[in-house]
Amino acid sequence: MNILITGGAGFLGQRLASTLLSQGTLQGRAIEQLMLADLVAPRHDAVLADARVRWHTGDLLAQLATLMAQRWDAVFHLASAVSGECEANFDLGLHANLDTTRHLLDACRAQTLAGHAPALFFFSSSVAVFGSDTALPLPAVVRDDTLPTPQSSYGIHKFVCEQLVADYTRKGFIDGRCARLMTVSVRPGRPNGAASGFLSGLFREPLAGLHSACPVDLDTMVALSSPANTVAGMVAVAQADRASFGGRTALNLPALTVSVREMLAALEALAGPQVMGLITHQADPSVAGIVSAWPSRFENTRALRLGLSADASFTGVLKQYIHDHPETVRQPQARQRLGLPEPH
């Protein structure tokens, strides 16, 4: 099986690649080649050392003719301009999210019309498709049949692309699967333009001995998922047969519901009070407006049928980050409290 991952140099793209390479198969077929396509080259040494891995750099839409000259059995479409970027630059969002996705789908359709079997097409959507509309307020709990009413350009883009994937699947051009991802925390690396970026930065930066600012009220409730749980959900959706996936509507992945205050309390209990001195509160109405419009509580019946579940606690999420990235914990008291050796 030949697999293409767009956004393959990103954190989730490389983690997905590592997971697929480790299991060696997808839908029971051996993985022969895995292409990572992104604006920049990937940096995960273990992934790049695998002989099955190739990579391609450049603007995805501009590079589609080259990339799609080869037949792909599965496409994981993760590449996207994020929420804050789409609000700040309307044209960028249209180009990176809508235009690119439609042309990628058309390239897959052309391969099917040329006589190939429809490719598995996984689309990474978002719970940003949900919001509160005057005519249709957001319910207290979002269920599988809750109607999306996105309140941001990013959410609109994701919902439109979900419908395109559903229609291309209905027509038999692809075997499409859309999964709505929760906010992923804690992400390593540098901050990005996502409105939800602070939900990683509030923990990543203080653990590294750096200052961080909270832009929202501490009692803001959020729905999130650890990196490992997110990738496990993506793979499960891709592995499922069509009957198990259930129709063509996007599936909501499981969410841990927690307040920002509870998240900070977990950080202090785990890493010590010194890290809290590195955190300040600087209200940002634009970020708060976007984040508060997102749902925080979910009932995930379809996901449960696939054997998926939410992270048990944010303490567990933090422990996962520290286990996976111990070198990024540079705050001395935190390292000592966590039992990490002195950095070299």
Element (H or E) spanning 271, and its range?
Answer: helix 260-271
- The number of residues making up the chain comes to 344
Contacts for 85 with CB less than 8 Å, ≥ 6 apart? 92, 93, 193, 194
Q: Tokens at residue 338, please?
A: 């966590």
Sign of CA dihedral 103, 105, 111, 113: negative
Contacts for 112 with CB less than 8 Å, ≥ 6 apart? 118, 119, 172, 173, 174
Q: Does residue 154 have an active-site annotation?
A: yes
Separation CA 278–CA 14 (nearest Å): 30
Separation CA 217–CA 305 (nearest Å): 35
DSSP code at position 233:
H
Q: Tokens at residue 134, please?
A: 């005057």
What are the beta bridge partners of residue 54? 35
Separation CA 273–CA 296 (nearest Å): 27
CB 339 within 8 A of CB 217: no
- Which residue of the set 154, 203, 298, 314 is catalytic? 154
CA distances in angstroms from 23 to 20, 178, 233, listed in the order given: 5, 22, 15
Separation CA 23–CA 31 (nearest Å): 9
Active site residues: 154
